[in-house]
Structure 1
């Protein structure tokens, strides 16, 4: 598209806080894509179809955040097998004639974040929360070898097990076995022992929602355990701080955000060499700026 502007954007509501423009623009600058533009657009479920209908041939792709990841599926022409299985697409790539293809790069982001931190083969895992990010976490753990017959156990800890149906259907589509327990039972205590031999806890809860669990989770993790907290600001969260105090591995949500964006840049631009470190530096600098 030399000589014309190629457009991409992140959609969601609320969207003003999104780091995606910082990450994608850093990649464009490093790649020399001077004719590429990346914006943040406020959009809720009701406005999504209409907005997509206004997008012409200059559009290369979209990043989607809540509440649009599931709402976009019926508006797409094709959807990757992974996005179908997880039940949500966080990425739209526009093809010939404006065809809309949906992908899920959240799973890639989780796997890359864990692997980068050396947590590539946990023997068991506990996921806090039962929403869309928890579904992506299940898929990521499946890629790391958990949840199948004879493999490490995945436990899903939710406020109301009766409302975890969609996430359990994701596990079923992936061929993964997941145990579900409510929050009102203590971590590591009999009879649930819900961390048990699990080496990894993944918190998919929003900022502040896991604060009261910090002591329990930190105490229940084994000596070589790890925490992945999808929150990235403010950082560290009380949960992350408690686990760090034990000298254990902690991965923050920025790592997931970074790597899912790296994969999006690959998909939207067609470039295979994406400047990860330039994107990381730009994102970390913006987080520091906002915190200050």
Structure 2
């Protein structure tokens, strides 16, 4: 029941009605007995600063930030955590008791948490990251912080690959598609495979003993993951990152860590309902 003391959180983006965040966060609030509610707010491009100003005025406790607002929101908050400062983007805003807005990037940390949840520790691993966009940059930054031994960034644009690799420091460099055969883990951080059977790389380079992670979660078992399973590789699907970044968000807003299993179950049920 919503009362006069119910705290409000939400997501801003455009478009945003497709977001799985409301079902995940509301399920976790209910399971944890928290007097919070989460809604989706359609905010047109260029409106991030106004939305965050409204957050202050209305006392909205927390916001998730999705495209196209991640850069503008980072510029509108008062403080940034280390990952957000490095990336220049945020996906989470927390209203502090003094009225200041704190910005965080939980995407990369959520990815690392999804690996560990699957029994994979990235420390000491050689990793190929496919892509150089926002998701890839968050993954590169987080894997470097988690102690990856080598990060090979593979992208059609070599210049963008080199820029993204800088986030990984000394362990990261631009690579080529053939490098996939020699790494311990492959991460698809592109949108290739979303809603299609396209593969983001030559799957003949995959082999047993590797870990293959795909950030795409529609379909949950992408063509890449199916090919990886066929050769005996360990696979990690994209829903894990979505869930764990949300877990970190909710913990920042409420101080209580939600159950990832509750969030994942809610997301799976919603995805199944959409694709019947």
TM-score, normalising length: structure 1: 0.85
- 8 Å Cα contact 1:132-1:167 kept in structure 2: no
What's the Cα RMSD here?
A: 2.1
Counterpart mapping for 1:203-242 below 5 A: 203-208=188-193, 212-213=198-199, 216-217=202-203, 219-242=204-227
Counterpart mapping for 1:99-114 below 5 A: 99-114=100-115
Q: 1:162 aligns with which of 154, 159, 177?
A: 159
Distance 2:88 2:197 in 1: 28
Give the corresponding residue for 1:37: 37
CA shift for structure 1 position 166: 4.4
Distance 1:168 1:205 in 2: 15
| Structure 1 residues without counterparts, runs of 5 or longer | 147-151, 189-193
Give the corresponding residue for 2:246: 261
Distance 2:34 2:192 in 1: 35
CA gap 1:289/1:38 in 2 versus in 1, 3 angstroms: same
For residues 100-156 of structure 1, the C-alpha deviation after alignment (integer angstroms, 9 at most, x for no partner) is 10011112211111111122146311111101111111122113312xxxxx32111
Give the corresponding residue for 1:178: 172
CA shift for structure 1 position 236: 1.6
Give the corresponding residue for 1:291: 275
Q: 1:199 aligns with which of 184, 207, 213?
A: 184
CA shift for structure 1 position 268: 0.5
Give the corresponding residue for 1:191: none
| Structure 2 residues without counterparts, runs of 5 or longer | none
- Structure 1 segments of 4+ aligned residues over 6 angstroms from their partners: none
- 8 Å Cα contact 1:7-1:38 kept in structure 2: yes
- 8 Å Cα contact 1:199-1:221 kept in structure 2: no
- 8 Å Cα contact 2:165-2:173 kept in structure 1: no
CA gap 1:108/1:180 in 2 versus in 1, 3 angstroms: same
- 8 Å Cα contact 2:217-2:238 kept in structure 1: yes
SS state of the match for residue 121, structure 2?
A: coil
SS state of the match for residue 89, structure 1?
A: coil
TM-score, normalising length: structure 2: 0.90
CA gap 1:208/1:124 in 2 versus in 1, 3 angstroms: same
SS state of the match for residue 71, structure 1?
A: helix
CA shift for structure 1 position 206: 1.0
CA gap 1:268/1:239 in 2 versus in 1, 3 angstroms: same
CA shift for structure 1 position 243: 1.2
Distance 1:162 1:67 in 2: 23
Give the corresponding residue for 1:149: none
Distance 2:201 2:51 in 1: 45
Give the corresponding residue for 2:229: 244
Is 2:116 the counterpart of 1:115? yes
Counterpart mapping for 1:7-26 below 5 A: 7-26=8-27
Distance 1:225 1:102 in 2: 35
CA gap 1:79/1:215 in 2 versus in 1, 3 angstroms: closer
CA gap 1:248/1:169 in 2 versus in 1, 3 angstroms: closer
